[in-house]
Amino acid sequence: MSAETEVPQAVVKQKNSKAVAGFVLSIVNVLLYWVPFLGFILAVLGLIFSSFGMHYSKNRGLAVAGFILAIVFVILHYFLAIGGIFFGIFE
């Protein structure tokens, strides 16, 4: 009889770098909300990366959080732009 020992296989954890990138961009957007165009660009990029992270992975926690933050701040940027147009800030 031969004594074979089984070597445990390493568990490879699936990385969701798109979701992490979307969440980080959304958090940076929260901090830089008052910078007029940079905040909107970060919100849109956070929205795009988070949606890719939700679509391509089963681990979607950070992707959903980044997506919700990005949606909220895209809407806030929209209202900020409309308010700026109506109150003459951009003249």
Give a three-class secondary structure readout of the chain: CCCCCCCCCCCCCCCCHHHHHHHHHHHHHHHCCCCHHHHHHHHHHHHHHHHHHHHHCCCCHHHHHHHHHHHHHHHHHHHHHHHHHHCCCCC
46-84 pLDDT, tens per residue?
999 999 999 988 888 899 999 999 999 999 888 888 877
In this predicted structure, which of 4-8, 14-18, 26-30, 55-59 has the lowest mean pLDDT? 4-8
- pTM: predicted TM-score of the whole model, two decimal places: 0.75
Is the pLDDT at 25 greater than 70? The verdict is yes
Return the pLDDT at 89.
62
Question: Which residue is listed with tokens 């990138």?
Answer: 21
| Domain boundaries defined on the chain | 17-86
CA gap 30, 26 in Å, rounded: 6
* Average pLDDT of the chain to the nearest whole number: 84
